[in-house]
Amino acid sequence: MRGKLSNYAERFDMVELCPVDQPLPGPKKLRNWRQQVPPAFVFSVVLPSVVASLQKGPEADKALRASLEAARALEARCIVLMTPPSVRPTKANRKRIVELAARLPQEGHVLAWEARGIWEPLEATETAYEAGLLPIFDATQFDLPRGPVAYTRIKTLGFNNKLSAGHIDLIATQIEGRQEAYIVVQGAGGGKLRAVLKASLERATQDGSAIPTLFRPDASLLADDEEQ
């Protein structure tokens, strides 16, 4: 996502703040971002790779502190750990994930984890729950864990930037009735998916059940984008 944040917020309801291994903007600039968008707009802070790779030491500690400071300045609703494929499903790594999660603020945030690499959905879900994290899956490929909150990343690049009606119905079915649903679109088509998915949810909820109170298809905001 490039351009003015206020313009983006007119089209979408959420953005992921991805540090891309560059220093995050200072609290003053982040508070300015918060002021540019409506109160209900959601920021999701993705932890940097030095943290996500489960490294220990001063550099990782400093990066984690900076990310949590950014989350406070943005009044971020979500904090996301996205471990790389190098973090394999070993006993030691499971322990490190639990230890890292314990350092995250436990109140007022959705704390989520996306395991990349060879993690099986069941072992990722079990590890996430042990750490008190919400597991992130692609709702077009896997069943989302039950509960009031869902966070899903839709990889449209795998569908040549297109999602079929069946995929959209599957997403709608998986988030129907939840209190909060955070949907991140990786690739083009976020705006179209937002409109079609919302219409699908409205049709599916004509029996009186509620549409999720937070409905957030989006793209990603790069922290090193000077246009921001």
Using one digit for the tens of pLDDT, what is the confidence trace for 120-160? Answer: 999 999 999 999 999 999 998 999 999 999 999 887 654 44
Is 228 domain-assigned? Answer: no
Using one digit for the tens of pLDDT, what is the confidence trace for 61-95? Answer: 999 999 999 999 999 999 999 999 999 999 999 99
Counting the structural domains of the chain, the total is 1
pLDDT at 120: 96
In terms of residue numbers, what domain contains 208? 5-222
Using one digit for the tens of pLDDT, what is the confidence trace for 174-219? Answer: 888 888 889 888 766 566 677 777 776 666 555 555 545 444 444 4
Is 47 domain-assigned? Answer: yes
Is 172 domain-assigned? Answer: yes
Is 227 domain-assigned? Answer: no
Distance, in Å, from the CA atom of 151 to the CA atom of 133, rounded to the nearest integer, reads: 11
Is 104 domain-assigned? Answer: yes
Tokens of 23: 């220093």
Task: Count the Cβ atoms, other than its own, within 10 Å of residue 10.
Answer: 9
Cβ-based burial of 201 (10 A; exposed 0-12, middle 13-18, buried ≥19):
buried
- Supply the CATH number for residue 105's domain: 3.20.20.410
